[in-house]
Structures are given as C-alpha cells and as structure tokens.
C-alpha cells in the first residue's frame, strides 16, 4: 500500500535558520507526493507537489521539496524560517482515489 | 468562488446522540472527500464521492457512519449513536475531477466533541 512516514514529531528551529521537515515514502510504481500545511484552527493548505520532472519542486510561501528516488524521500525545506511558518506540516502520497497522509510534524520557529 | 466551507465549526454532543456534519465544496468540483483527524494524529480517510459514481466508503470505521452527496453539491456526514472515540476534527476536501484528485482543497473542519 502507498504510504508516507514523517519520523519526527516536532521540529524546532530558530528564526532565520534553514528549516527541514522529513518525509519518506513507500509506493509501488511512480509516486505522486505532496506537502500540506495546517495553521491553528484551520484546514489544510496545499504547499507543493511532485508528479514528474525536476526533482526540486518549488511551492508556496518560499518552500521547496526535493524528490530523492534512491532514498525514497521527499523532504520539505525552506532556506530561512519565519515565526509565521510555525504550523503542522503533512506529507502525503496519492493512493488510488485518495491521499494517504503522514502523521504530521509540528514546526516551531523560535524568534 | 469561495473555498470549501463546513458547518458547524464546533459541535459538542452527548454520547449516544446522532450528529450531522455539512460540507459545501468549491463550485464545479466533482470529487469530494471526508477525513477524520484525531488529536495528535494524521488524517484518516473516510469516504470519497466522484460525480454520480458509487462512493468509495472503504474508510468508514463502522456502520454508525454514513455520508450522502446529491450530485456535485453539498455533502453530509452522519454519525449515529456517537461514542467518545468519535471526538475528532472532521475535514472535508474537494477537487476538480478524478484526474486531479491530488489537488485537494480543504475546508476548516468541524471539531466534534462527544461527552
């Protein structure tokens, strides 16, 4: 079955430092991979996706993610974190008609 | 038009009561999804509607859960005889069509608390 794993529960980073949120995947065939962000008391917002093409995908709010087939990873990155980036981040993979989500990572950006 | 909307935003109910949650998808979106998000956990797929096709109900956790959708419009998720373990945020999402099912747009959710 298609699945993703987010190995960390919480990521703490100082404002201005690089931010990385990890995701690994397990799929049969070519993966369709996504990142979503959830701000407090709000629904999920789409950040970016990888379907095919360049391994480095750029998305909203300055985020990017790198698809690495050999490591079966799709880590989310931002060069310089903002306090406003503090939120819950979900990695997901297309699994048939639905998305299969990871458990989420809480990101805390410290001023 | 506007994004996905859900109502109510919060619902507190007593154990054993029935509840009905509503989702208004983005106009023109043919696919609609319901997910459940328990505290500290990821999203759990519940049910998927695509146009007039038979819904994919494979994620519904028990026969107390049911959902309906008329055409490509509003959907309601009904939970009968609620239990405390049903307490969660219920999220609805919609997407344009089957081939773009991965671009899902989410509503703000309904927070259900069963006391």
Contact A97 B56 (CB under 8 A): yes
Smallest CA–CA separation between B66 and chain A, in Å? 18
Residues of chain B with C-beta less than 8 angstroms from the C-beta of A44: 43, 91, 93, 106
Mutation site, B102, B107, B111, interface A, largest A CB count within 10 A? B102
Say how many domains are in chain B.
1
Contact B102 A44 (CB under 8 A): no
Nearest to B93 by CA among A88, A101, A33, A98: A98
Phi, psi of B53 (to 5 degrees): -75, 160
- Contact assessment for residue B67 and residue B25, using Cβ atoms and an 8 Å cutoff: no
A21 is written with which tokens? 């949120």
Contact B102 A102 (CB under 8 A): no
Pick one of 2.60.40.10, 2.60.120.10, 3.40.50.1390, 3.40.190.10 as the CATH number of A3-110.
Answer: 2.60.40.10
Q: Which pLDDT does position B33 carry in this prediction? A: 94
Provide the 8-state DSSP code for B56: B
Smallest CA–CA separation between B31 and chain A, in Å? 9
CA angle (A45 as vertex; B80, A21 as ends), nearest 5 = 110
Q: What H or E segment, with its residue span, contains residue B111?
A: strand B110-114
Q: Which pLDDT does position B72 carry in this prediction? A: 80
B92 is written with which tokens? 């609805």
Provide the 8-state DSSP code for B10: E
Q: CATH number for the domain including B36?
A: 2.60.40.10
Contact A98 B91 (CB under 8 A): no
Smallest CA–CA separation between A11 and chain B, in Å? 15
How far is residue B91's CA from residue B21's CA, in Å, rounded to a whole number? 10
Residues B39-58 pLDDT 10s: 877 889 999 998 888 899 99
Concatenated DSSP letters of chain A: --EEE---SEEEEETTS-EEE--EEE-SSS--EEEEEE-TTS-EEEEEEESSS-SEEE-GGG-EEEEETTTTEEEEEESS--GGG-EEEEEEEEETTEEEE---EEEEEE-
Size of interface A-B (CB pairs under 8 A): 55
Smallest CA–CA separation between B83 and chain A, in Å? 23
**Band of the pLDDT at A91, cuts 50, 70, 90?**
very high
Residues A17-52 pLDDT 10s: 999 999 999 998 889 999 999 988 778 899 999 988
How far is residue A62's CA from residue A52's CA, in Å, rounded to a whole number? 20
Higher pLDDT, B25 or B53: B25
Average pLDDT over residues A2-24: 95
Q: Which pLDDT does position B103 carry in this prediction? A: 79
Looking at the DSSP assignment, which residues form a beta bridge with residue B77? B21, B67
Q: List the domain range (segments joined by +) for residue B85.
A: 5-114
Residues B85-100 pLDDT 10s: 999 999 999 988 666 6
Contact B101 A46 (CB under 8 A): no
Residues of chain A with C-beta less than 8 angstroms from the C-beta of B23: none
Average pLDDT over residues B19-46: 91
B88 is written with which tokens? 């969660």
Residues of chain A with C-beta less than 8 angstroms from the C-beta of B93: 43-44
**Chain A residue with Cα closest to B109:** A43
Domain boundaries along the sequence of chain A:
3-110
């Amino acid at each position: 079955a298609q699945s993703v794993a987010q190995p960390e529960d919480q990521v703490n980073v100082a404002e201005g430092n690089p931010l990385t949120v990890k995701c690994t995947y397990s799929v049969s065939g070519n993966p369709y991979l996504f990142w979503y962000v959830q701000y407090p008391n709000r629904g999920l917002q789409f950040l970016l996706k990888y379907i095919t093409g360049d391994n480095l995908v750029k998305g909203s709010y300055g985020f990017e993610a790198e698809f690495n087939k050999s490591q079966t990873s799709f880590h989310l990155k931002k060069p310089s974190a903002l306090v406003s980036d503090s939120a819950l981040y979900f990695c997901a993979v297309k699994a048939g008609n639905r998305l299969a989500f990871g458990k989420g990572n809480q990101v805390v950006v410290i001023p | 038009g506007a994004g996905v909307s859900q109502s109510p935003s919060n619902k507190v109910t007593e154990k054993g009561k029935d509840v009905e949650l509503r989702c208004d998808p983005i106009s023109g979106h043919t696919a609609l999804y319901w997910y459940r998000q328990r505290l500290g956990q990821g999203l759990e797929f519940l049910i998927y509607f695509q146009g007039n096709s038979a819904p994919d109900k494979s994620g519904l956790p028990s026969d107390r859960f049911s959902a309906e959708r008329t055409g490509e419009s509003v959907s309601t998720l009904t939970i009968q005889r609620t239990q405390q373990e049903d307490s969660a945020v219920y999220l609805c999402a919609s997407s344009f069509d089957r081939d773009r099912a991965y671009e899902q747009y989410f509503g703000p959710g309904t927070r259900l608390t069963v006391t």
